[in-house]
Structure 1
Amino acid sequence: MKFDRIPWVIAGPCSAESERQVISTAREIAESPHVKVFRAGVWKPRTRPDTFEGIGKVGLEWLKAVKAETSLLTTTEVANAQHVELCLDNNVDILWIGARTTVNPFLVQEIANALKGIDVPVLVKNPINAELGLWLGAIERLYHAGIRKLAAIHRGFSTYVQMAYRNHPNWQIPIELKRLLPNLPLICDPSHIGGHRDFIEPISQTALDLGIQGLMIETHIEPDRALSDSKQQITPKVLIELLDRLRARHTAITDKQVKRKIAHLRAEISHTDSQIIQDLADRMRWVEEIGKLKQQHGISVLQINRWESLLKDHMARARQLGLEAEFIKEVFELIHAQAVKRQL
């Protein structure tokens, strides 16, 4: 899959609810040159029963009508082999595998088997939990089935921690996926990360700033009346205005002067990184010496009062230097865990 415009956008309602809703939404979003694909969920994997779980296969006929009228490509979510068969029979252009399916290797393999020998693009959303291995595994299963038109969708990760967003972005995970699979197109789903329409634009801009070139944005002609995820959907008008405000960044550095300045600064960073590694090595040597003394004199490895005092001092020093205290806390928690391990 290649992106001919940045951002390259998939848009449409969370769920296909009626033919009028689907066609009306598609007509309006087709006015944006950024929107290339129309999305609508036909089968909805809901957390609890007795809620709207999708219109079913009749929605696939509505997707056909969308393509006939607007020339937009179409996509919907599949969760099993039966869904795949119905989508292929109804000429759906792109399939996507949702977060609740990516987490299950059995279902992913079932879908991969159903797609063997079929040249159709497949988008793979990250699993609900923050585990890169499951995401990679789903992509690999599809690749081993002969599917080459693959892309990944970053939709955030569930967390029990209270936060403003519905799902934690954990940007380092899609960044690591991109490092491991540099040729794999990456799409961000700001609707599911944010969980509220007010967060869609800033999350989209962050994604573009990180070099993610595709977006999947839930769009509905009457979002407040949507049968699923109403708070995180926007109108086509708002979508078009939002896309016009977003600014994509270049991945290549073409200005020679800027390139030289960045090269100099990167050299300074590399020097600092080397010093950090050397300092950590020195620190661990002192840790091991302390560990020997503790062992000789029957002193417990973990000295909780010392650790709490040290962490408090480090966080205070971080604030003085303009660093985020929570960041320093996480860094030193890793260092401390390694120090304890060295003394055991």
Structure 2
Amino acid sequence: MSEYKLVRKQNRHEKTMVRVKECCIGDGDLTVIAGPCAVEEEEMTFELARALKHMGVHILRGGVFKPRTSPYSFQGLGWNGLEILAAAGQNAGLPVITEVTEAGDVEKVSRYADILQVGSRNMQNFGLLKEMGRSGRPVLLKRGFSATLEEWLLAAEYIMSAGNNQVILCERGIRTFENYTRNTFDINAIPALKRLTHLPVLADPSHGTGRRELVEPVALAAVAAGADGIMVEVHPQPENALSDGFQSLRPHELAPLINRARAVRDALHTGCVAR
């Protein structure tokens, strides 16, 4: 553990709280991040952002640079999509988060996005991590789909050692021999990270399962395990989504999930659920 000079819990007396406009991640309340896997067009993004704000979502997500396994899959709208996402967030009164895939894009994306995301495929892109550390923006670091906890925490150490202590960890499932789900959501990682690090920990049950019907139960399990928040993909017409529609909730499915997740969180705080 000696290499975790900055992320290690024992080296910091207080938990890290990441403030993004009016939202504070890691302060004991449940943070909800939601939005489409990919920004597709302006009108839909604006309408969805306003609906999410009304439901109590804190942060709007949306991919604009999409690193896909197949080169023939939808790669995102790029800079035009980023402008749409930022405008939709401003219109709805929500901060926005989006993934950055190239170190050279960090500065420009930072002008539009309130939180920069490092995706699973880039968790060990050390040049990108260092640039994130110099960005001055909060960074959400997703776990690599084959990464150990040690590798994940050392990736966070790269960001923090470059001068940025506003780091959020996000468990999004790992690759195992199981093929019924897209990934295997590692529920163990959440309480383990709570013992190892002072950084806030979020859960992404959308990528963690890849199946719409499993998003809610896994999200609730993550909250019960101690997650500081959830990150959920939402699309008004998942069957027509250009990216990951099969794991995206419809807007009317999100509101009850948020209510149940908050009830679980409240139960933890009042001691009704064993930690």
Deviation at 1:64, TM superposition (A): 2.1
Partners of 1:84 and 1:115 within 8 A in 2: no
Give the Cα separation in 1 of the matches to 2:224 and 2:54.
Answer: 25
Gaps of 5+ in 1: 263-344
Partner of 1:21: 44
Task: Name the SS for the 1:100 alignment partner.
Answer: helix
Of the three residues 137, 158, 161, the one matched with 1:141 is 158
Q: Using the TM superposition, give the Cα deviation of residue 233 of structure 1 relative to its aligned residue in structure 2, in angstroms.
A: 0.3
Q: Secondary structure, in 3 states, of the residue corresponding to 1:123?
A: strand
SS at match of 2:55: coil
2-structure distance, mates of 1:238, 1:195: 16
Match of 2:206 among 185, 188, 191: 191
Q: Corresponding residue for 1:318?
A: none
Question: Which letter maps to 1:95?
Answer: L
* CA deviation profile, 1:86-137 (whole Å, cap 9, x unmatched): 2123x310011000000x2xx2333423541x42110100111041122111
Tell me the distance in 1 between the aligned counterparts of 2:173 and 2:150.
Answer: 15
Q: How far does residue 66 in structure 1 lie from its aligned partner after superposition? A: 1.4
Task: Deviation per CA, 1:287-315: give whole Å up to 9, x if none.
Answer: xxxxxxxxxxxxxxxxxxxxxxxxxxxxx
The match for 1:123 is 140
2:222 maps to which residue? 207
Native 8 Å contact 2:172 2:207 kept in 1: yes
Name the counterpart of 1:93.
Answer: 114
Counterpart code for 1:169? F
Tell me the CA shift for residue 22 of structure 1.
1.3
Which residue does the alignment assign to 1:275? Answer: none
The percentage of counterpart residues that share the same residue type is 36
Q: Which structure features the higher share of helix residues? A: 1
1:108 aligns with 2:130: no
- SS where residue 25 of structure 1 aligns? helix
Match of 1:62 among 77, 84, 87: 84
Structure 1 residue 144 displacement after superposition: 0.3
Per-residue deviation, 1:170 = 2.4
Q: Aligned residue for 2:13? A: none
Gaps of 5+ in 2: 1-17, 19-23
State whether residues 24 and 221 of structure 1, in contact with CA within 8 Å, keep that contact through their aligned partners in structure 2.
no
Match of 1:152 in 2: 169
TM-score, normalised via structure 1 length = 0.68
CA distance in 2, matches of 1:5, 1:21: 32
* Number of corresponding residues: 249
In the TM superposition, what is the alpha-carbon distance from 1:32 to its structure 2 partner?
Answer: 1.5
**Runs of 4+ residues over 4 Å off in structure 1:** 250-255
Give the alignment of 1:31-50 within 5 angstroms: 31-33=54-56, 35-50=57-72
Alpha-carbon deviation of 1:252?
A: 5.3
What TM-score comes out, normalization by structure 2 length?
A: 0.84
Q: CA RMSD in A?
A: 2.1
